[in-house]
Structure 1
Amino acid sequence: METETTFSHVAPPIFDGDNYQAWAIRMTVHLEALDLWEAIEEDYDVPPLLANPTMTQLKTHKERKTRKSKAKAYLFSTVSSTIFTRIMNLKSAKDIWDYLEKEYQGNERTKNMQVLNLIREFEMLKMKETETIKDYSDKLLG
């Protein structure tokens, strides 16, 4: 008997504040596969139903409203509790996504400063006379 694994059973990536870029790519793909990315990317408003809506209008209204709620719930469930406390008062999935991007991706200047700091740190690593080659190489790899 074969068992079929659906995508909904794949655990979404959890973000704990480290490696935002990788998490954002994985999360985007995850939300696209669940047909929820549109709610974040477009941040559309769901207009109220008109008087005497058709069944199609009712269905479309409910789907669009549900998609927004699901996207927000997914974002809440894929962050650590520390990050959740920072985003729990945001109103939409788009607001949450934008906050995380702004907070953790950083701007170009910040990235350049981090690169310069890492280069400087690497250049300052010198082998001490008391260190073995193995100790020094372990320190470099660390």
Structure 2
Amino acid sequence: MNLNVGLEGSSITRPPFFDGNNYSFWKTRMEIFLQSLDYQLWHIIVNGPRMPTRTIEGVVSLKPENEYNDNDFRMLQLNSKAKHVLFCAVGPNEFNRISLCDTAKEMWDLLKVTYEGTNQVKESKISMLVHEYELFLMHDNESISDMFTRFTTIVNSLKNLGKNYSNQELVRKILRCLPRNWTPKVTTIEEAKDLSTLPLEQLLGSLMTHETTMKSHEHVETKKKKTIALRASREESESDEDDDIVLISNQFKKFLKSQKGKKVFKKKFPQEEESSKK
């Protein structure tokens, strides 16, 4: 386990650390870090350093070092600073990979090709992610928050590869991916909101609020069903008890009748009964 991964999050002056895993995540964070540190650093990494030049009789050539001015030294220093930041942001394996590069742009591009691939590989990844995006649906029993996390992972991966969707496209895709029981809510949003200007985060908030309401109603309905089931069970139990009482009562009445018949027989024929005993 690399301890730098845990340490870098504790300081805004420490660059995001890259250990060879999750390049897209690191790349996005590194871009923001460099831009916040000095936007010229990011410009140099994207476009390469501006080497000091001079023009003599219409011919442009590199300046000899003894003719450098303060601005020339600053531009060269920015390239070294950008290289230093990149070196501090990578582990030993990546350091060895980029250590022979002369400019920060070469270092950045080498990492990009290594982990994103060539244009052909990149297009293949984009095609796969676009297919995943187009087939994206909310899973059964999945929360809006979890669904949105999966969705943004796909969208961000595409964005890192240069494939972008407009806010309107993302909003419509989210609405299309919802299950059938969300249809009334989707219809309400489409009728009440202008989807071309509806912010994605506002849509998310609206869906999460509706989800909470739905869960609350489901909870109430579940309690009602349990109460009805319990009441029915009690009534059935009481009914069974009543049936048992009626059955016992009927059996007892039959018993009394049978005993009464025996007593009448004894009263009418007492001598015969005694002689039969003898």
Same fold (TM over 0.5): yes
Offset, 1:51: 10
Q: 1:121-141 CA distances to partner (integer Å, 9 max, x unpaired)?
A: xxxxxxxxxxxxxxxxxxxxx
Offset, 1:10: 2.2
Q: 1:98-123 CA distances to partner (integer Å, 9 max, x unpaired)?
A: 0111111232325667999xxxxxxx
User: Structure 1 segments of 4 or more deviating over 6 A?
Assistant: 50-53, 113-116
Larger helix fraction of residues: 2
Provide the C-alpha distance between the structure 1 equivalents of 2:66 and 2:45, rounded to a whole number of angstroms: 30
Q: 1:79-94 counterparts in 2 under 5 A?
A: 79-94=90-105
Partner of 1:63: 74
One-letter amino acid of the structure 2 residue matched with residue 68 of structure 1: N
Partner of 1:109: 124
> Contact (CA 8 Å) 1:49, 1:61: kept in 2 or not?
no
1:30 lines up with 2:41 in the alignment: no
Q: Which has the larger radius of gyration?
A: 2
Partner of 2:47: 42
Q: In structure 2, do the counterparts of structure 1 residues 87 and 50 end up closer, same or farther at CA, with 3 Å as the change threshold?
A: closer
Provide the C-alpha distance between the structure 1 equivalents of 2:65 and 2:93, rounded to a whole number of angstroms: 44
Provide the C-alpha distance between the structure 2 equivalents of 1:46 and 1:99, rounded to a whole number of angstroms: 21
Partner of 1:136: none
Provide the C-alpha distance between the structure 1 equivalents of 2:84 and 2:32, rounded to a whole number of angstroms: 16
Provide the C-alpha distance between the structure 2 equivalents of 1:20 and 1:63, rounded to a whole number of angstroms: 30
> Contact (CA 8 Å) 1:46, 1:65: kept in 2 or not?
yes
Partner of 1:133: none
One-letter amino acid of the structure 1 residue matched with residue 104 of structure 2: A
Structure 2 length as normaliser, TM-score?
0.34
Partner of 1:18: 21
Partner of 1:75: 86
Offset, 1:15: 0.6
Instruction: Indicate the RMSD between aligned Cα atoms, in angstroms.
Output: 2.8
Q: Matched residue of 2:16: which SS? A: coil
Q: In structure 2, do the counterparts of structure 1 residues 108 and 63 end up closer, same or farther at CA, with 3 Å as the change threshold?
A: same
Offset, 1:77: 1.1
Q: 1:1-36 CA distances to partner (integer Å, 9 max, x unpaired)?
A: xxxxxxx95211011111111111111111111221
